[in-house]
Chain A
Amino acid sequence: MAQEPVIPSGGVLNDVAQGGNVARRTKDPTGMFFLLPAAVWVLLFTIFPLLYALYTSFWSFRFGQRNQFVGLDNFVRLFTDANLHSALRVTLTFVIVTVVVEMLVGFGLALLLNQEIRGKSVLRAIMVLPLFATPVGMGFLGITLFYEINGPINVFLRTLGIEGIPWLSTPQWAPVAVMLIDIWQWTPFVFLVSLAALQGLPVDLYEAAEVDGASGWDSFRNITLPLMTPTLWLILLLRLVEAFKVFDIPASMTLGGPGRATEVYSLFTYRTALRFFDHGYAAAQGILLLFIVMLIVTLLFGRIRELYEVGG
């Protein structure tokens, strides 16, 4: 293989890390024309709710109505509330496991279906379907899929000689069941975006590599992977953000149980807001999550940018 593969700019990742490899961007004021519609739209519809949430976070609530200005009390509670910490732990485990599995399987599947395989168009369409299977519905179905006495999964496992797994009734397995449904649902997201990016890769690089006698593995390692890296980080970023907010599946399948074994952060916040009507504390929780996720995003992607700069 003759030429070094071009290392892409790093794109959004640089942006997120507040960096600035923007040498090729012009300062043409027409840029505003492209940017403004979206910016105004988002600002218009989110500024009031956001300020409202921020405002309520300084209040205590009784009967779902503002009761007393309590300053930073709601934020102080964030640090002493063991239940919140448990929810955070559950969520972190959930995020790490599901996002890693989804990334690996989704990208692998995209590579697989990027090959010349008969019927690939139909296969691609099928692989995307779980994206549309409403999570609430999947949560309900999960109750029957993972049904312990005679559910299809346990019956299948028994034919393999594995004793039935107490999927939903034990704190050890219930999170696994929730994660499996989530992985089923969101792997196609990774698949879809990486497939779209794979198809944008320049074919001539591969042809040149082939002429040079590079094996498939060489091409993958030297061309596909480096070219795909920015997109993969991007997908990781988007999946991370979504996974931190997971709600529908545990809310319809396990309701957080047994005990608090599957009580994820959003479910906890949901209960605080719409079960206990403690809107102020719920707002504080939301702000904390915003802070945590943005911190992770910035730290993680700041590091990546450094890697790029050293490597490039």
Chain B
Amino acid sequence: MRGFKFLSVLLVLSMILAACGGGGAPAAAPAEQAAPAGEAAAEEAPEAEATAIPGGETYATVTEGSDILPPVLVEPCEPGSCPFEGQTVTVIVNTAGSKGPISGPFYEVREEFEAATGATLEIVEVPEAEHFPKLMTDVTTGTGQYDTSIAGAWWVGDLVEGDFIISYDDYFDDPRFPQWDYEDVQSGPRSLLEYGGKKYMVANDHDGQVMYYRRDLIEDPEHQAAFLEEYGYELGVPQTWDQFRDVAEYFDGKDLNGDGTPDDGLTLHLKVGGQGMFHFMSFSAPFVIGPDNPKLYWFDPETMDPLMASPGHLRAMETLVDLLQFGPEAMMAWSLGESWDHFLRGQAALTFTWGDLGSLAQEEGSQVRGKTGAALMPGTMEYFDAAAGEWKATETPNMVGNTTGGSWSGVISKFSDAPEATYYLLALMATKEKSLIYAQRGWDGVDPGRFSHYLPPEGTASLDGYVAAGWDGQDATDYTKAYHDNFGAELQFPYLRIPGAFEYWNSLDIHLSEAATGQKTPEEALQATADDFDAITDRLGRDLQQASYKASLGLE
């Protein structure tokens, strides 16, 4: 009785509230256009297995591509002669459920793997932010709860040098395991698979940031004429950050999706802890890296003094902070999802981020399918060569590829009691046939990075495959070309994988946010970053850090 009374009070109150709120809402109603029409497709998609935490639908709903399944590659084994009978492989992976990014393919492959090996696959999902701590707690105490972690590439320094994971060099050519083509992985992401000349990560995801632009806007004759009028040169895909600024400025405040409200020139995700530092890395690369300085970005290898406060970094930070005026103020508190959502609603003309956005743009609910162009990140005409200590001009735009991001891929724990079965699983998922489907589908979060993912002439995939996965043809062409150009670029942003990478990056992340929200000037922010770097290096041991850093640059 009492409970009933309570519930009715609750109900009445919420109705009153709703009525009160109703008055305030119409103002926002016009913006409400992105509601996906075809929910039916989503509902028809096979429901998550009973053992999974569901999810995976990002702000736009499930793609038709989820209907595409990778081929089954290995035969079930005969009971009694199964290679890994009775073993258990436990994988720890970022939470996202059986239909979610990175974790989804493990649920999908489980049956095939278990049938072929006789082993059992257990999947432990942890929130992304807690994955590394949980893994480290396990390996530093030698507990061995997990056989493999689908790890972020920047953890590898700690994991290898702490002697927590094993190399799969001995397994790679062994015919007992599924074979996959190491050379198929493009040089940029391939460099993340090894450490100190040994192979540790089994290729899976390939992360790197590229620029996304609204093709429909850039090709619009009216905009082209107006832009030419205003800036004195042709509107096109930005080649340098100066051009990027002009385009962002030009489109900022214009209605970009036809809903009658002004939209933004660009969108970024700059929340502290929201991977904003990756933005700065890929953005700042061409201000520091150039033909005469292909490697030095983080430290001076002779002294381990941080280079973060160099004139190149400073100009990058100033340029970035200046650009922020063309985006919504709220993005200072945005993580990936909110920023991508903004772009997918057609509310921003430009952004630069990971491969996920390109495939999300193809999904139900996206306003920008068929309008999303992608290209290598813009460059500069001048970079600061830290070794020479001077600015150097370039003839053509100085563009630098990057592999910023997690590139979530499997590593094998030293404390695993089933390392072979574990490698079997990871290798199975790394086969060309499976990887291609993973890369084409949006929902599984595996981004392209192999020649077999790209369209001719760069690679061997077919456009039909992408179209069948739900892609707009032109979007797919631009997208794979952008990734090919990015990962294949002659100059690559030097990814930091020495021990303590997480701590160095955390410092950069926080100080970037301070500069972006006006708590510090760009100069103060970078100086603070450099000071933090010094403190971290000293604490971890300058000599040891220096040795790791030199090795990572190939200087030893």
Contacts and interface: CB of A to CB of B under 8 A. Distances in A.
Do A and B interact directly, with beta carbons closer than 8 Å?
Answer: yes
Interface of A: 60, 62-65, 119, 121-122, 125-126, 143, 147-150, 152, 155-156, 158-159, 166-171, 174, 254-261, 263, 271, 274-278
Contact of A166 (B2, B23, B162, B329): B329
A257 B272 contact: yes
Interface string B526-556: 0000000000100111001000000000000
B519 A125 contact: no
Contact of B271 (A64, A257, A271): A257
A277 B158 CA distance: 10
Contacts of A170: 329, 332, 517
Contacts of B333: 143, 148, 167-169, 174, 254, 257-258
A64 B328 contact: no
Contacts of B518: 171
Interface string B416-446: 0000000000000000000000000000000
B510 interface: yes
A126 B140 CA distance: 45
Contact of A158 (B24, B330, B502, B541): B24
Interface centre among B9, B161, B510, B544 (most CB of A within 10 A): B510
Interface string B256-286: 0000000000000001111000000000000
B490 interface: no
Contact of B28 (A155, A255, A260): A155
Contacts of B21: 152, 155-156
Contact of B517 (A62, A63, A259): A259
Contacts of A174: 333
Instruction: Give 10 nearest A-B pairs by CB, closest first.
Output: A257-B272, A63-B162, A255-B273, A168-B333, A259-B514, A169-B332, A64-B140, A274-B133, A159-B24, A148-B330
Contacts of B176: none
A166 B330 contact: yes
A169 B517 contact: yes
Contacts of A122: 2, 5-6, 9
B19 interface: no
Given A155-B25, A259-B519, A276 B500 contact: yes
Contacts of A121: 2
Contacts of A64: 136-137, 139-140, 158, 162
Interface of B: 2, 5-6, 9-10, 21, 23-25, 27-28, 31, 132-133, 136-137, 139-140, 158, 161-164, 271-274, 328-333, 499-500, 502-503, 506, 510-511, 513-514, 516-520, 536, 539-541, 544
Contact of A257 (B6, B136, B510, B540): B510
B3 to A, nearest CB: 10
A127 to B, nearest CB: 12
Given A122-B5, A147-B330, A257-B333, A171 B271 contact: no
Contacts of B23: 159
A170 B503 CA distance: 24
Chain A interface main SS type: loop
20 contacts: A62-B499, A63-B161, A63-B164, A125-B6, A150-B28, A150-B31, A155-B25, A155-B28, A166-B329, A174-B333, A254-B271, A255-B271, A257-B272, A257-B273, A258-B272, A261-B519, A274-B133, A275-B133, A276-B500, A277-B158
B443 to A, nearest CB: 22
A27 to B, nearest CB: 46
Contact of B27 (A158, A168, A271): A158
B503 A254 contact: no
Contacts of A277: 136, 140, 158
Given A158-B24, A259-B517, 12 more contacts: A60-B539, A65-B162, A148-B328, A155-B21, A166-B330, A168-B333, A255-B274, A256-B510, A263-B510, A271-B506, A275-B133, A278-B539
A64 B9 CA distance: 53
Contact of B329 (A148, A156, A278): A148
A254 B329 CA distance: 15
B537 to A, nearest CB: 12
Contacts of B499: 62-63
Contacts of A152: 21
Contacts of A167: 333
A259 B506 CA distance: 11
A62 B24 contact: no
A60 B539 CA distance: 8
Contacts of B544: 62
Nearest to A267: B273
Contact of A275 (B5, B502, B514): B502
A248 to B, nearest CB: 13
